[in-house]
Structure 1
């Protein structure tokens, strides 16, 4: 009788789930100068002048605007960094994050 070699049954590979994405949202306020908001958007989110101006104007008109979408850690870090830049300059500039549906 020949030697029988039993091979292990192949295991189903666990698929890595895509990380959930989070939106960084710029909240409008009536005190932070527009030029400063554009400066922060360019510095933190690497936007061009035109992109930053468009985001700032949308937030001004609608009360809030989605700036960008990242993984949770990156979104929270960028929102915190941008909000801190406003605070250091004495402005109530605020960014928040929200899970993307």
Structure 2
């Protein structure tokens, strides 16, 4: 299993991060807000743990959505 980690930056809006967490990771609004706050205050937050191919696809989707909106939002994978 691989953890998908989302990294804080100074440009991506909190609202966009919440939208991505809800759309890509199927988080509830409350859970998405909690993860977003972890990212904002701690610099990183875990979006979930998935098999490699699913995790890789989710990271690619986040990067694609961020590029479309002009945000530098980044995710990375970490093996559990």
RCO comparison, higher one (Cα < 8 Å, 6+): 2
Q: Aligned partners of 1:93, 1:23: CA distance in 2, in Å?
A: 17
Q: Aligned partners of 1:82, 1:39: CA distance in 2, in Å?
A: 10
CA RMSD of aligned residues (A): 0.6
Q: Aligned partners of 1:27, 1:76: CA distance in 2, in Å?
A: 15
Q: What 5-or-longer segments of structure 2 have no aligned partner?
A: none
Superposed counterparts of 1:8-87, under 5 Å: 21-87=1-67
Is the partner of 1:96 in helix, strand or coil? Answer: strand
TM-score between the two structures when normalised by the length of structure 2: 0.96
Q: Aligned partners of 1:83, 1:60: CA distance in 2, in Å?
A: 18
1:99 equivalenced with 2:74 (yes/no)? no
Q: CA deviation at 1:54?
A: 0.4
Which of the two has higher C-alpha Rg? 1
TM-score between the two structures when normalised by the length of structure 1: 0.77
